[in-house]
Amino acid sequence: MEIKKRSSLAIQRDVIFALFLRELRVRFGTYKLGICWAFIEPVAFITVLTAIRTAGFKSMGAQTDVHGIPFAIFFMLGFMLYSLFQKVSLQASDAINANRQLFAYRQVRVLDAVLARVLLESIIWLSVIVILTLGLMWLGMNIQMVDFLRFLSAVFGLLLVGFGLGVFFCVVKQRVREMEKVLKILMAPMLFISGVFFSLDQVPAKYRGYLDWNPVLHAIELARGAAYGSYSSIGVSMFFLYSCGIALTFLGLATYRLEWRRIVAS
């Protein structure tokens, strides 16, 4: 019987799929509610913020939307896209520590573990966005998607930023353990400066220049503008988002290229 040889690409595909299933089991297999936990956090966050802001604006007689986006949709897009960035970055940065024993197998590479984690987080959070959107439509919310390709472009640019940042910290942490704390410190203020709670045009003009350095803010504002034509996404740029994403991905992969042999040997 002739033994069929697999290509390196086929081997890598199978390895990533096996690591993906392993990550899925580890993440949700030990909890009784399993994957439902992925819905509990965003639903609670969106419900509380929408109730607070709606009550506050109604008491002042103001509109209960932001440039035509209902508060629930506004917060959902902001929180879910920020969470996607955060989860991808943190999960990718810990890929080596979580899979170190598997690197003894020649077929398993560090980058495969990172890609499996990024793929899992992307599928989970994008699925949650779709399901929450369908749920809000069922509740009678005004759901729009003016430019779906532009929306996907903003999401993919955000994934590039998270992936590049995660790979860089994943590698650098193996030399400098304190970098793990640096990443957590970096993530702490991101929730408040990434446009989750506000739109960029609500910020005084003299402060916008500081926030414009945050690519996550660009991704969230671009996604909102792609969904609702009435939403003002002036001040953000798809070019800047992808420039940051490509630069961080290049930095992460270059660092990985320099260090992978030492990581596997350690």
pLDDT band at 243, cuts 50/70/90?
very high
Q: Which of 196, 227, 173 is nearest to 84 (CA)?
A: 196
Question: Residue 162 — pLDDT band, cuts 50, 70, 90?
Answer: very high
Closest CA to 146 of 73, 38, 249: 73
| Cα torsion angle, 70, 74, 77, 79, sign | negative
The pLDDT > 90 percentage for the chain reads: 20
Cβ neighbours of 245 (radius 10 Å)? 22
pLDDT at 185: 84
Task: Tell me the pLDDT band of 3, cut-offs 50, 70 and 90.
Answer: low
Distance CA 117, CA 163 (A): 10
State the number of CA atoms in the 13 A half-sphere of 45 facing the CB: 20
Residue 34 gets the label, from left (phi > 0), alpha (psi -120 to 50) or beta, of: left
Indicate whether 5 pLDDT > 50. yes
* pLDDT band of 156, cuts 50, 70, 90: very high
What is the pLDDT at residue 29? Answer: 64
pLDDT tens digit sequence for 18-68? 888 888 887 776 655 556 766 777 778 778 877 777 776 555 445 567 777
pLDDT tens figures, 223-242: 999 988 888 777 889 999 99
- Confidence check: pLDDT of 1 > 50: no
What pTM value is reported for the model? Answer: 0.87
